[in-house]
Amino acid sequence: MSLEPPDTNVAPKYVISCAVLAAVAFGLCAARIYTRAFPVSRLGIDDYLIGIAEILSLAGYCAAAAAAGHGWGHLSIYVSAHNQMIAYKCLFILQLLWIIALPLVRISIALSLLRFSNARSWRWTLWALISVQVVITTGWLVVLFFSCRPLRSNWETVADVVCWDRKYTIVYGWVSAALLVLIDLTLALMPIKLIRTLNRPFREKVLVSCLMMTGLLATIIACIKMTTFKIVDLGDPLQATVEGSLWAKLEELVGIIAACLPCLKSPAERLLRRLGILSDRYLPNIPRPSFVVSFSGPMFPLTPVREEMNRDIEASDSNLVGSQATRWKSGTSTSARTLTANTEPHENKA
């Protein structure tokens, strides 16, 4: 009678569940880049960062799938030494890509929020969060590359390997995880203060709040991920690492989705109107353009050429108020004031 445990494979739950979210994240990210690049490019640093993060995320998923194809998720006794080496190499690449991709998502969100206000406290808070994120990421890169020497000991057996005491890595993991959860929570809740001051229908305020607070789901996933820290070093290394890696990848993918959803609110509304799904009945009473559009433009005075470009970009929203320009209240964007000023001579001639 054999005393060996049965050969089980837990990798499919990672591969399948992450594949679904990876497809959603890719679609939303591609839609965000497209809508901001055409017909006139309005791409900012935050758009480039989220694009890079999405590319790294897809590469990381491919590395995880390759690791699963070489035995990751099985018990080590059922995987050949050669396949184990390939699987651990793929997992090392997965860690490296994840360490870089997830911070890019947070930094992209923070840079997007910088457009919302010029208040000193607002900007200092966001730059402080970005700085903390950069420091934490640098620390994890140091841990990944220098905690064990030689480096190849991460994927193959080495006789003279020298590693740091494991307790230092564990302590750093808990401290950094707590700080990152705080960063996620702050980034998710900061827009609420601005949304409350908008002169928008209550229903739209709720919608925008839900879109921008999708990051809270990433925060919850990060908290769940922390509960897996204690089991990473227990059991078979090829199988015990799947659970923690799954939650880490879900945190990354949900972060990308949360970063892209608010940017697609206005394009989605225009598409629904063209398809006849969204009624235009209440739109003439809207006092100003969509929340996302009003904050997606520059926060500085525009030259005449850029005023014309910005007016074209917001044409789909400004046309909703009728053929004659509506008198806008003070405090609106530069492009809105320019639109009103340009229409006055025509009114006087009439």
DSSP 267: H
Identify residue 100 by its one-letter amino acid code. I
Q: Which residues pair with 72 in a beta bridge?
A: 74
210/198 Cα distance (integer angstroms): 15
Q: What is the DSSP string of 242-261?
A: HHHHHHHHHHHHHHHHHHHT
**Residue in 325, 341, 259 with CA at minimum distance from that of residue 32:** 259
Q: Where are the alpha helices (DSSP H) in 115-147?
A: 120-146
Torsion angles phi and psi, residue 162, rounded to 5:
-125, 125
User: CA–CA separation, 213 vs 258, rounded Å?
Assistant: 8
* Residue whose C-alpha is closest to residue 152's, from 85, 208, 239, 199: 85
* Element housing 162 (H / E): strand 162-163
Residue whose structure tokens are 């809105």: 336
In angstroms, rounded to a whole number, what is the distance separating the alpha carbons of residues 106 and 184?
A: 8
First and final C-alpha spacing in the chain: 100
pLDDT given for residue 50 in this prediction: 96
Beta bridge partners of 149: 162
Residue 314 and residue 328 in contact, taking contact as beta carbons nearer than 8 Å: no
- Categorise residue 71: left if φ over 0, alpha if ψ from -120 to 50, beta otherwise: left
The pLDDT score that the predictor gives to residue 283 is 44
How far is it, in rounded angstroms, from Cα 99 to Cα 79?
27
What pLDDT tens digit does each residue of the chain (350 aa) get?
456 778 889 999 999 999 999 999 999 999 999 988 888 888 999 999 999 999 999 999 999 999 999 999 999 999 999 999 999 999 999 999 999 999 999 999 999 999 888 889 999 999 999 999 999 999 999 999 999 999 999 998 888 889 988 888 888 999 999 999 999 999 888 887 777 776 767 666 676 667 666 778 888 888 888 888 777 777 788 988 999 999 999 999 999 998 988 777 776 666 656 766 555 544 444 343 333 333 333 333 444 444 444 444 444 444 444 444 444 344 444 444 443 444 444 444 43
Please name each of the domains of the chain with its CATH number: 11-260 (1.20.1070), 281-345 (no CATH)
Sequence letter at residue 52: I
